[in-house]
Structure 1
């Protein structure tokens, strides 16, 4: 890669950190750009995953106020997401991409629908919880696990999917949901990243520059995102999710 290419990768990392901390789905931009720079698909995928781990972690730290008192949930749901991520990462290394990519458009579209319908559905879930004494719907943990599988395999739009799932089953407060999303995304990317670093073919210059840039972008994005009105943030999530859906269909 030329110095110009490496500069593009570094700037791409900053962009990815901002987008992932706000919405998720930066992989839909970073992955195609890496391909255009001549990085082989699987190498681009694993290098991108490793490079985005610091951005997810910094984004979660930036939302630490919204996560106050949620340590138990972060640990429980993070463990489930991490286990799913491990399954997805192993699947990526063992099977051809077409086996899972076939269902990606449907999963992304489902995430967008969940984000758009989140507030009324969340109120219904909360009301049911008060009537039955449940703190969370039974489907929530399996859904987090499935999202973890997807994130470990590819990860594009995993943030949209997590926001959709958490917006229905966790809280109608999008800032609170976004904070939890960042924490779970850090667990998903982190576990997959460790596995990829140990056994996969990684372009370490790409991964390193993405990591540095995404850490800066994650801090910037979390600072901006915490100040956005919930309707505006929700509209951004839906817009990025729809763009992700269209992008996947045409590629």
Structure 2
């Protein structure tokens, strides 16, 4: 690998770690960087999933003070693992093209859900107005769907989680972001195990990107609580729209 390619991957890792901590979608920085460095698409996708995991861990460390305490959060972890395994197996067993055609619309839809969270909550009902059983089922289903997506494609997983959790949880956006960081880390660990055992990982690329995402992820997580809620929501919505439009353009090109 040339020095210029190595520098590109390190820079992309730093940026992706920070973006993942704040809004999600950092893989859309590292994945193209790996392609530009000469990796074929499938190894690039798999190596990218492995590389961003340390950044997720750093994001959890930086936002741990805002994580809720209790069994409700722990109950989401098995769902996250099982959904991720299903998505990863689907990626390794099936052609990716059909799903990639749907991904841009999923990202844009998730962004729209976050942008219009207020009207949607008035339409479907606020989480605090639902029964405990209904809230539990809603959160579990939302996490399961996001985990399958994360195991299969990964890019913009944070956007999916923030949009979905903000709709079904009665919590501040800072707390939702902290939960998103934890669940993203669980998805990242699960895909790391599956792809390390069965996927075509390029470990040289991982060795460059992973430490950089660690630094960027911690810095991004420390930034989130300092942003006013409206600013944080605007940043996520703007970035999510850009990500969705980019994926739409890439699919059509």
TM-score range, shorter chain: over 0.9
CA displacement, residues 173-221 of structure 1 (integer Å, 9 cap, x when unaligned): 1000000000010111110111101111111111122110011111100
CA displacement, residues 207-251 of structure 1 (integer Å, 9 cap, x when unaligned): 122110011111100111121111111001101110111111111
Q: Is the 8 A contact 2:68 2:175 kept in 1?
A: no
TM-score by length of 2: 0.93
Equivalent residue for 2:141? 142
Equivalent residue for 2:8? 8
Equivalent residue for 1:240? 239
CA displacement, residues 113-137 of structure 1 (integer Å, 9 cap, x when unaligned): 11112245457323422xx354715
- Whether 2:223 is the aligned partner of 1:218: answer no
Per the TM alignment, residue 99 of structure 1 is displaced from its structure 2 partner at its CA by 2.7
Counterpart secondary structure, 2:65? coil
Counterpart secondary structure, 2:108? helix
How many residues were matched structurally? 248
CA displacement, residues 3-43 of structure 1 (integer Å, 9 cap, x when unaligned): 22112111211111100000100111211121122111011
Gaps of 5+ in 1: none
TM-score by length of 1: 0.93
Gaps of 5+ in 2: none
Equivalent residue for 2:35? 35
Aligned pairs (5 A) from 1:68-107 = 68-70=68-70, 72-107=71-106
